[in-house]
Amino acid sequence: MDAFAIVGRVRRAHGVKGELFLDVLTDAPEAILAPGASRVVADLHGTPLRTPDGAVREVVVRAVRDFKDGVLITFEGVDDRTAAEQWRDRTLLAPVAELAAPEGDELWLHEIPGMQVRDPQGNPVGEVESYYELPHALVLEIRTPTGRRDLPFNEAFVHDVDRVARTLTVTLLDEEEA
C-alpha cells in the first residue's frame, strides 16, 4: 500500500446539509482538498478505515470553503447532518507522493509514533507511543522506563528532530515539576 499522510481532521458536523468542519493539516489545501479529489478515510491516528471487502475506504470532495480556523467541506454521499455526525474525529489521508516533503524539523503526524526520544546529552529517554492534540498544542505520549510521560511538542521541550534517524532530542520536566 502507498504511504499516506494526514491532511485534515474532521472536528464536527456543521449545519444540516452535510457540511463538516475540518482542521486543515497541509500547507496546500487548495490542491489536496480540491473538489473532485479522492481521499482515504482514517481514524483519529491515521489508520485507514476499510470497507467490508477489505478495500481502503475513500471519499470524494464535493466542495470546500474557508471557515474560521479551518474549512467547511462536503463529501459525495454525505448529504445531511445525520450522515455528517458519523464523521467526527475522522482524518483524511493523501498519498505522500502528492505532498511536498517536510522541511527542517517538520514531521508528518504519522511519523511521530515509534520515534526514539533522547536527552540533550544523547542518552535514551524512551519512545513516542502516540500523541494527542489540545487546542494550543500537540502533546507526545512517551513511554519511559519509569512510566508514561506527556510532553508538549514545541521548541521549549523538543530541541531537535531527526527524521532519518527517527529521533527526538528533548528536555523532560523532573517528576516533581510535572
For the stretch 139-152, pLDDT in tens is: 999 999 999 999 99
34, 37, 41, 45: CA torsion to nearest 10: -50
The pLDDT assigned to 174 comes to 67
Question: Percentage of the chain with pLDDT > 70?
Answer: 96
Q: What average pLDDT does the segment 12-24 reach?
A: 95
Half-sphere exposure of 22 (CA within 13 A, CB side): 29
Outline which parts of the chain fall under CATH 2.30.30.240: 109-170
pLDDT band at 178 (very low <50, low <70, confident <90, very high): very low
CB 150 within 8 A of CB 141: yes
Query: Is the pLDDT assigned to residue 45 strictly greater than 90?
Result: no
pTM over 0.85: no
CB-CB neighbours of 142 under 10 Å: 22
Task: Choose between 77 and 99: higher pLDDT.
Answer: 77
Give strand ranges (E) for the chain: 4-14, 19-24, 38-42, 58-67, 70-75, 91-95, 116-118, 124-134, 137-144, 147-152, 158-162, 167-170
The pLDDT assigned to 134 comes to 81
Q: Which CATH class is domain 109-170?
A: mainly beta
Which of the residue ranges 10-19, 94-103, 116-125 would you say has the lowest mean pLDDT? 94-103
CB 72 within 8 A of CB 64: yes
Q: Is the C-alpha dihedral spanning 171, 172, 176, 178 positive or negative? A: positive
Query: Is the pLDDT assigned to residue 105 strictly greater than 90?
Result: no
Outline which parts of the chain fall under CATH 2.40.30.60: 4-98
Q: What average pLDDT does the segment 123-136 reach?
A: 89
Q: Is the C-alpha dihedral spanning 44, 50, 52, 58 positive or negative? A: positive
Domain 4-98: give its CATH superfamily.
RimM (2.40.30.60)
